[in-house]
Structure 1
Amino acid sequence: MGYIQTNKGDFFGGIESASEANKFLTKSNDSAYRRALSTNYNNIGLSFHFLKEFRKSSYYYIKTLQYIDSPEDKYLCYNNIGDLLISQKKFDSAKYYLEKATPTKTEKTFSKVINNLAKAQYQLNKNYDPLPQFYKALEIRQKINDGEGLNSSFETLSTYYYDKDKKLSLEYAQKMLKEAIQNNSPDDQITALKRIIRLDPKNYFTNFIKLDSISDNVQTLRNKHKSQFAMVRYDVAQKDAENKNLKLKNLEDDNKILILLGTLILLVLIIVFLRKRQKQLKQEKELEVKNTQLKMSKKVHDVVANGIYQVMAKIENQEDFDREKTLDELEFVYEKSRNLSYEKAGEEKEFSQEISELIASFNNASVKTFTAGNSSSVWTNISAPVKEEIYQVLRELMVNMKKHSKASHVAVKFEKADQNIEIQYKDNGVGISGDLIYKNGLRNTASRIEGIGGNITFETKIEKGLKVNISFPSS
C-alpha cells in the first residue's frame, strides 16, 4: 500500500503506510524481513525527498543501507543519496556517493548514476563537459525503453541548454512532455509544460490551459489516491475487532472455572502468608526486646560498673587523692546512670535532649537554668566524638557554676551561623578572674575545644558573673 501511494503521489499516505508496515517487520536477522525493511525505508526516504524534507529523507536513506544485503540494491541506494545531495546543492558529497554506485551491472541503475554524476561534476567544474554522459544515459534508457528515465534525461538536457541554446532547450522540454504523456506521468507533464511556457511565449496561453487542466486532474487523482485504501483499512480494522471480541468471549467461557480456582488458591496463599508473617513479626519483636536488653546491660556495664571501678582504682592506688575531683567523677557516673534509667527501650535519645537534660539537672530552688536555640537541627551532621566533647565541656561549666559561682541564673544559648556552631554560656555569679580559670575545674575545656578545631574565650571583665563563648565547625 505504501509503495503504491508513493508512486501515485500520495507521499504522506505512503510514509504512513510504510511506517505501519515496519511494526510487523521485527525479525531483523531474517533476509526476507530485511529486504522488506530496506524497501520500506527507501520508500519513506523517497517520499520525504519529493516533499523536499531533505534531512528526513537522508535519515531514511541511511537507514535503508543498514538492511540492504544485495550489492545492486546498495548501488541504487547510493544513487538515491547522491540525487538527494544534488537537490541540496552538496555536490562534493553527491559525487562521493555516486562514484560508489558506478560498479552497478544493472543498466537502469547505471543510467541514473552516470546522469546524476555528470550533473554533480558539472556543478563542481563548469569547464567539465557533461554531454557525453547525458547522452550515454539517454541512449541506455531508449534501449531498455525506460519511460521514467527518458523523462529524466530530457529534463536534464533541457535544463543544461536553458542558458546556452533556448531552441534546443525547448525541443528537449517538448520531448519530455511527449514522453510523459505516453507513459502517463502527470508530474513530468507539469514540469515539462512549466519549462515550455517560459521558452515558448508565443503559445503561452495554449500551454497554460494545458498546464492548468493537468494540475486539476493531478489534484483530483491525488485526492482519490489518498482515500483508495480507506475501505481496506476500515475492513481490516473491523475484522480485527471482531476477531478480538470473539477471542475474548472464548477466553471468558474457557477460563471461568480457572478464575474461580485461582481465586480460591490466592485466598489460601494469603491466609498462609498472613499467619507466617504474624509469626515472623512476633519472633522479630522478641529478638528486638532481647537485643535491647543486651544493649542496656552493656551500657550499664560500660558506664556505671566501669566508671565506679575506675574511681575505686584511683582511691586504692593513690595515697593522696583529690577529694573534689573524685566527687566530680562520681557525680558524672551518677548522671550517666540516671540518663540510662530514663531511656526507653529501642529508642535513641536525641543529643539536643541530652544537652537540655544536662543543663536542667542543675536547676533547683536557688539556681534557675535556661536554654535557647537547642534544636535538633543545630546538631545535624555533628559526629559522635564532637558531641561527647561538647557535652563534657558544658558539664564542666555547669559543675564549676554549682561549686564556685553562687549564681542564681544560668543561660546557655545555641546558634548555627555560617559554617560554625556558636554556644554562649552566661551566669550572674561572683565571676572568676583569669588567673583562677584553670584552677577551678575548667582547665580541660580549652584543650577539649581545641581538639575539635574550635575556639573558647572566657569574658571575666564584665559587670557581674561569667561569660564563655564557644565556637566550632558545624561539619
Structure 2
Amino acid sequence: MKNILIVITLCLMFSCKKEYNAKSKPPTNRNFERALIFSKNGSPDSAFYYFNLSKNDFLDKNDSLGAARALVNMALIQTNTGDFFGGIESSLQTNSLLKFERGIVAKKILTSSYNNIANASNSLKNYDSAIVYYKMAIQTADNDEAKYICYNNIGDALINQGKIKLSKKYLKKAILADSAINYSRALNNFAKAKYLDDKDYNPLPDFNKALAIRQEIKDGAGLNSSYETLSTYYLDKDKKQSLQYAKKMLTEAVNNNSPDDQITALKRIILLESKYYLQHFKKLDSISENVQTSRNKHKSQFAMVRYDVEQKDAENKNLKLQKLEDENKILILFGSLLLSILVIVFLRKRQIRLKQEKELEVKNTELRYSKKVHDKVANKVYHVMSEVENTENMNKEVLLYKLDGIYQISRDISYEKNDVALEHNFSQHLSQMLKSYSSENIKVPIIGNEESLWEDVGDHSKVEVFYILQELMTNMKKHSKADKVLIDFSRENDLINIVYSDNGIGISEFSPKNGVQNTESRINSIGGTINFDTKTENGLKITLSFPQKINNYV
C-alpha cells in the first residue's frame, strides 16, 4: 500500500508542475521544497512539519490549490505512519480546500486525496467507506493505470467482505494493468477470488506466476502478499507447506522492515507450530509493542506540529468574536423573548419525556435483572456442573462452598455494587476465567491480554466484555466439541479487537438465542460490534470490536 501512495504522490507532483508551466512559473515556497527533500530522505516527521508551514504560507496568499497540495502530502504521511484517522481528517480538509477549484491539478490532488481516504479506511477495516472513495478516485483519475490500482483495491476490499462474485468483476479489469507491480497484485487477488468462488478451480499457476513476477522485480510488499496467500491456501491442505510459506513471509517482512507483515506471519506460525509457541509469542508481543509505540510517537508529533496553527486560529476567532459582540447585543432582547417561548415548550415536552423515561426505566430494570441472572447465576451454575463432571471424588466442602457462593450472588442480585469481574486485576481475572474452561481435552491459548491493553478502558466496557467472553466460552463448552480455542486481543489506535476462534463443529446457520442476543446487546451498549463468521470451513470465528473510550457510556 505504501508503494501505491508514493507512486500517486509522485504523479501528483509532476502533474502539478506541468499545469503551472502551461500558465506561468510554479509558485516557489521554501518550506514546501524542504518538505519534499525530507520526504525523499525518509524523514516523515520533518516533512510533515514543513508541509504544514507551507500550507499556512499558501493560505496566507489565498492559494487554496497550493495549500491543498501541501495538505494532501501531510495526509499521505499520516496514513503511511499508521495515523489512519489523522490521514482521513487531513484528506477531508484537502477536499474542502478544492471545493471551488477546477482544472487538471485540482483533479489530480482530489484523486490522491480520495485514494488516501480509501487506503486509511481499508486499514481500519471500514471496507464500505474504502470502496466508496476508491470509486470516487476512479472518477477523477486521468490515466488508466491509476484506475487499475483502484479496481484492484476495490476487489480486495470486496473479498474481505465476502462478496466474491462482485470482487471478480473489478479484478477482471485490474489485471489489464501495464506495470509489473500492479499486474502481479491484481493477478494474485483475481486467482484468490476465483478459488473462493469455485473450490474446484486450481489457483496455484496464477499464485506462482504472481510470485515469480514479484521475485523478479524485488517487490518486497508483493512477496509478503504472495507468501501469505499461499500459506492460507495450504492451511487446510498441507500444514507443513502452509508453515513454510508463513516462515518465508516472516523472513521477507524482516528484510523489508515491515512490522505489520511480521505480525501476520507470526500469528500464522504460532497457529501451526505450537511447540515453539512461547518463543514466537514473545517475538510477536515485542513487535506489536514497538509498532504501537512508533505510531503513538508519530501521532503525538503530528499533533504538536498542528498545535501552533490551532492556537493561531483560536486567536483570530477571538478577534472576530469581539467584533461581533456589539452586533449580538441587539439580538439579546429578541433572544430572551424566544428563549421564554422555548422554555415553555421545553417544560411541556419534558413532562412527557419524564413519563416515557420512567416507563423505559422499568423495562430496563427487568432486562438488567434478566441479564444478571443469566451471567452471574446461570453461567456460575454451569461452571460448577462442569467441575463436578470433570473432577473425580470432588470434595463435598468445596462443592458446598461454591454452591453457597452462587446463593450469595443470587441473593444480592438486586443490589447495585461493583461487579465481581472488577474485584481483582482485570486482565488476570479475565485470563483466569478463560483458562477455567481448559482441561486435558481443551486447550485455551490467549494472545495479547496484557494490563496495558485495558488502560483507559472504562469499567462498564470491561464488565460487558468479561460476560460476553464468558457466554462464548460457555457455549463452546456446551456445543462446539472443540479441543482448541484461541482468544486474540489487540488494539488498533483507539479500537480494541478480540478474535475468538475454535476448531469445533461450527454453526451452519446463524440463529440468535438468548445468550447471543445478550452478547449483541452488551457489545452495542459499549459502542462496539460483534461479527459471527458462519462461513468458516473448520470451527467458528467471532470478532469483537469496541472503542477504548466512548461518550455517553459509563
Please give the TM-score of this superposition, normalised by the length of structure 1.
0.50
Question: Which of 46, 62, 84 lines up with 2:119 in the alignment?
Answer: 46
- Map 1:318-357; keep pairs closer than 5 Å: none
CA drift at 1:104: 1.1
CA drift at 1:66: 1.7
1:63 maps to 136
TM-superposition CA deviations, 1:380-423 (whole Å, max 9, x none): xxxxxxxxxxxxxxxxxxxxxxxxxxxxxxxxxxxxxxxxxxxx
TM-superposition CA deviations, 1:60-101 (whole Å, max 9, x none): 112212211111100100001000110011111100001112
Question: Which of 8, 12, 21 lines up with 2:94 in the alignment?
Answer: 21
TM-superposition CA deviations, 1:106-159 (whole Å, max 9, x none): 111101100000000001111111111111111111111111111111100100
CA distance in 2, matches of 1:12, 1:239: 23
- Map 1:248-397; keep pairs closer than 5 Å: none
Q: Tell me, yes or no, if structure 1 residue 110 matches structure 2 residue 110.
A: no
For the Cα contact (< 8 Å) 1:2–1:13, is it kept in 2?
A: yes
CA drift at 1:235: 2.8
CA drift at 1:59: 1.5
Letter in 1 for 2:270: I
1:184 maps to 257
Indicate how the Cα distance of structure 1 residues 137 and 28 shifts in structure 2: closer, same or farther if over 3 A, else same. farther
2:268 maps to 195
TM-superposition CA deviations, 1:153-196 (whole Å, max 9, x none): 11001001111111111111011111111111111111000000
CA distance in 1, matches of 2:179, 2:313: 42
Letter in 1 for 2:157: L
Moved more, 185-194 or 6-15: 6-15
2:108 maps to 35
Indicate how the Cα distance of structure 1 residues 28 and 76 shifts in structure 2: closer, same or farther if over 3 A, else same. farther
1:7 maps to 80
Moved more, 239-248 or 9-18: 239-248
1:146 maps to 219
CA distance in 2, matches of 1:138, 1:28: 43
Other structure's SS at 1:229 match:
helix
CA drift at 1:211: 0.6
1:441 maps to none
CA distance in 2, matches of 1:174, 1:221: 25
- Map 1:83-102; keep pairs closer than 5 Å: 83-102=156-175
TM-superposition CA deviations, 1:266-309 (whole Å, max 9, x none): xxxxxxxxxxxxxxxxxxxxxxxxxxxxxxxxxxxxxxxxxxxx
Other structure's SS at 1:164 match:
coil
Letter in 2 for 1:92: K
CA distance in 1, matches of 2:76, 2:248: 28
Letter in 2 for 1:166: K
CA distance in 2, matches of 1:247, 1:125: 64
1:204 maps to 277
Indicate how the Cα distance of structure 1 residues 240 and 79 shifts in structure 2: closer, same or farther if over 3 A, else same. same
Structure with the greater alpha carbon radius of gyration: 1
Question: Which of 216, 221, 224 lines up with 2:294 in the alignment?
Answer: 221
CA drift at 1:5: 1.6
CA distance in 2, matches of 1:35, 1:27: 15
Q: For this pair of structures, how many residues does the alignment match?
A: 251
1:156 maps to 229
CA drift at 1:29: 3.1
CA distance in 2, matches of 1:195, 1:120: 21
CA drift at 1:248: 12
Question: Which of 153, 161, 168 lines up with 1:80 in the alignment?
Answer: 153
For the Cα contact (< 8 Å) 1:26–1:33, is it kept in 2?
A: no
Other structure's SS at 1:37 match:
helix
CA distance in 2, matches of 1:129, 1:204: 32
| Aligned Cα root-mean-square deviation (Å) | 2.3
CA drift at 1:236: 3.1
Other structure's SS at 2:178 match:
coil
TM-superposition CA deviations, 1:32-69 (whole Å, max 9, x none): 11111111111111111121212222221122122111
CA distance in 2, matches of 1:94, 1:28: 34
CA distance in 1, matches of 2:75, 2:195: 35
2:23 maps to none
CA drift at 1:224: 1.1
CA drift at 1:241: 6.3
CA distance in 2, matches of 1:53, 1:96: 21
2:452 maps to none
Indicate how the Cα distance of structure 1 residues 248 and 125 shifts in structure 2: closer, same or farther if over 3 A, else same. closer
For the Cα contact (< 8 Å) 1:27–1:33, is it kept in 2?
A: no
CA distance in 1, matches of 2:177, 2:109: 21
CA distance in 2, matches of 1:57, 1:164: 32
TM-superposition CA deviations, 1:427-466 (whole Å, max 9, x none): xxxxxxxxxxxxxxxxxxxxxxxxxxxxxxxxxxxxxxxx
CA distance in 2, matches of 1:182, 1:44: 28
2:198 maps to 125
